[in-house]
Structure 1
Amino acid sequence: MEEDDLPRPGAPLDIVIKEDLDRLSVHELEARVAVLEREISRTKARLAGARDFKSNADALFSKS
């Protein structure tokens, strides 16, 4: 992972990745994984949409 790929300091993701997991119970860890998996799915869907939009825009403007 490159430096530019890391979240901005103080950003919510920065807080999540630095959280101490040792204090969480099995149930809390399972819940955390479920929430993060849903967020990954949501983010991948948004990424796919952004890529499609960019591809369509590139195709539109390259027809000149």
Structure 2
Amino acid sequence: MDQPNHIIDADHLRKISGKKSVAAIRRWASRQGIRCGDGAAGPWTTLEALNFALGVPISPAANDSYGGDIL
């Protein structure tokens, strides 16, 4: 089943963080201010949560958020 582009799964978080274990990914995300949910394969988040943690302003008219293709 394909997931929406705005969902960042555990595999993507593993690549972004450089961490291997689920616990290490959760700690890294928490330290970065990234809100995560618990999934069967590990933590997951949304592109919006990543943008918020990075300080990207929420402006629907300007579309200032990063796209999912940067991962």
**TM-score of the two chains, using structure 1 as the length reference:** 0.29
Higher helix share: 1
Q: Which has the higher contact order (CA 8 A, sep 6+)?
A: 2
**TM-score of the two chains, using structure 2 as the length reference:** 0.28
Higher strand share: 2
Please identify the structure whose Cα radius of gyration is greater: 1
